[in-house]
Amino acid sequence: MMSSVAQSPTTGYLTMRLASEYYALPGTSVREIMRWRTPTPVPGAPPMIPGLINQRGQILTVIDARLLLGLAAAPLDRSTRLVWIQHHATDAALLVDAVIDLITIAPDHLTPPPINLTGSAQRVIQAVYQRDDDQPIAILDPSALLILVQEAL
Amino acid sequence: MILLIETITRRYLGRQSDIDTIGWPSTVDRDERGRAILRYQLGPLLDPTDPPASGRLHALTIGLRRRVVELLAVRIDLLADAPTITPLAPFLAARLRLPWVTGVALLDEQPVVVLDLRRLAADLALGLRLNHTEEAL
């Protein structure tokens, strides 16, 4: 006789690193991961926007995730990646220090963000996933992230 | 018609309709109507990493009511085939320090920004600059 085990649906997340911190975006908002290439600068754009890139005919605005989240700027290296995010009608390329992995997380494994978060982190971190033997991963809300871009520039 | 404007390290696009004349830079300080002529090298004006060009440059001349602005570039060409121009992402367009870029087009698969040359000239005549040029000028 087979027993039915209730399983909560899992969601895929792309994990990435900024400085020594780990973040994740829902896989549904990620279209592609790209290697760094020098963008075309836009005169008058803030430092958070290093420029524009072409990815197979789609022009994407590059957003430096470090500066968006209030972290210090850092030099580019071999692990630097651009993450093409898409939310509703908005596309952008998020500049991150490294892309780590694609993982699945059950909703009941997520915890609310710490109440002592401040600044931009408070607005864009929607949950935290605590891995057993490693640093926590802050789950980013792509919608809040793009709203923050509009307001923070 | 769309102009391709080249500086030492950058390429820009502009609309020919924004420009009164294209030619050599003038050698006088005022035009025949007594308007002061303001001259700027477009490269370093728009990008601090774009060095000033030496040698003979081309001038895009834009006449305003009280000023004439000459924007100097290394090379200016009229594009035979107008590229498709895409507006900037709204979150970027709304936050430019000065609204000198109206869109972007792909040339040789590279994004090239489209300048509002008349707006740029009008702002220069008013003394407005991008941050990086304020100390240099």
Q: What is the pLDDT of residues A73-88, one digit of tens each?
A: 989 999 999 999 998 8
The minimum CA-CA distance between B105 and chain A, rounded to whole Å, is 8
CA separation, residue A1 to residues A5, A6, B30 (Å)? 13, 16, 97
Q: Where are the alpha helices (DSSP H) in A38-141?
A: 65-68, 119-124
Domains of chain A and any CATH numbers? 4-152 (2.40.50.180)
Q: What is the ipTM of this complex?
A: 0.92
Give the HSE-up count for residue B119: Cα atoms under 13 Å, Cβ half-sphere. 10
The minimum CA-CA distance between B128 and chain A, rounded to whole Å, is 12
Instruction: For chain B of 137 residues, list the mean pLDDT of each consecutive stretch of 10.
Output: 97 97 95 95 96 94 96 96 94 91 97 98 94 53
* A23-38 pLDDT per residue, tens: 999 999 999 999 999 9
Nearest-angstrom CA–CA distance, A46 and A63: 10
When scoring B9, B84, B91, B129 by the number of chain A Cβ atoms within 10 A, the one with the most, hence best to mutate, is: B91
Question: A113, A104, A105: which is closest to A141 by C-alpha?
Answer: A113
Question: A152, A51, A153: which is closest to B104 by C-alpha?
Answer: A51
Contact residues, A window 79-138, toward B, CB-based 8 Å cutoff:
90-92
Q: Which amino acid is at B70?
A: E
Question: Which residues are bridge partners to A110 per DSSP?
Answer: A129
The pTM score is 0.90
Secondary structure of residue B93 in the 3-state scheme: helix
pLDDT score of B132: 67
Contact A41 B47 (CB under 8 A): yes
Secondary structure of residue B82 in the 3-state scheme: coil
Nearest-angstrom CA–CA distance, A4 and B29: 88
